[in-house]
Amino acid sequence: MATRVGYFVGSLSSTSINRVLSRALIRLAPEHLEFTEIPIGNLPLYSPDHDANYPPQALALKEAIAGSDAVLFVTPEYNRSIPGALKNAIDWASRPWGQNSFHHMPAAVIGASIGAIGTAVGQQSLRAVLSFCNARQMTSPEAYVHFTPEVFRDDGEITDPSTAEFLTDYMQEFATHIERVLTVIPRR
């Protein structure tokens, strides 16, 4: 049976390098992982005022997560943290109180930057948020991607064999992590 992975791209940029990275990861992932993007760009700003009556975009977000066996976050680092649009989506998904969509959800984080530290600080920030949301995060391997257009083609092809090998291993480990979590905490 296929394992359904919902993935978030933390950037709203039409030229997002993290979207390119997401394409590369999907190409390299084990075949039984089936990927669906969970959009975040159409969400209004979260307010508890909506808790009694979630808008359709936020309901769709929660349904998409509920229909996933695991979630993958592919995100830039913004000002040494995560982009506001991604935090907003996580806030929506974590509420209303008692209906946190990430509870026990297998998860992994990864990100690409044009800077040398490759989103390392942003990922720590995201990990703290997901930890509070009780997601079951893969903690190792970590992947901090220094993006260059020579290595990452727009369609997701990777021209550097060692980068491709590293990211293939990352996705294999993610598949194993999902399996381990689902063995203990089945979702369906």
- Applying CB under 6 A, which residues contact ligand FNR? 11, 13, 16-18, 76-80, 113-115
Residue 25, CA distances (Å) to 3, 31, 68 in order: 15, 12, 17
Characterize the bridge pairing of strands 3-9 and 70-74.
parallel
Q: Contact 142/123 with Cβ under 8 angstroms? A: yes
- Specify the residue, 18 or 68, whose C-beta has the smaller distance to ligand FNR: 18
CB of 18 to ligand FNR, least distance (A): 3
- Specify the residue, 106 or 118, whose C-beta has the smaller distance to ligand FNR: 118
- Specify the residue, 76 or 106, whose C-beta has the smaller distance to ligand FNR: 76
CB of 16 to ligand FNR, least distance (A): 3
CB of 85 to ligand FNR, least distance (A): 10
- Specify the residue, 11 or 68, whose C-beta has the smaller distance to ligand FNR: 11
Residue 175 φ/ψ region, left for φ over 0, alpha for ψ in the -120 to 50 degree band, beta for the rest: alpha
Beta strands of the chain (E only): which ranges? 3-9, 33-37, 70-74, 106-113, 136-137, 144-146
CB of 8 to ligand FNR, least distance (A): 12
Please list the helix, strand and coil fractions of the chain in percent, rounded to the nearest 5, in that order.
40, 20, 45
CB of 148 to ligand FNR, least distance (A): 12
- Specify the residue, 48 or 115, whose C-beta has the smaller distance to ligand FNR: 115
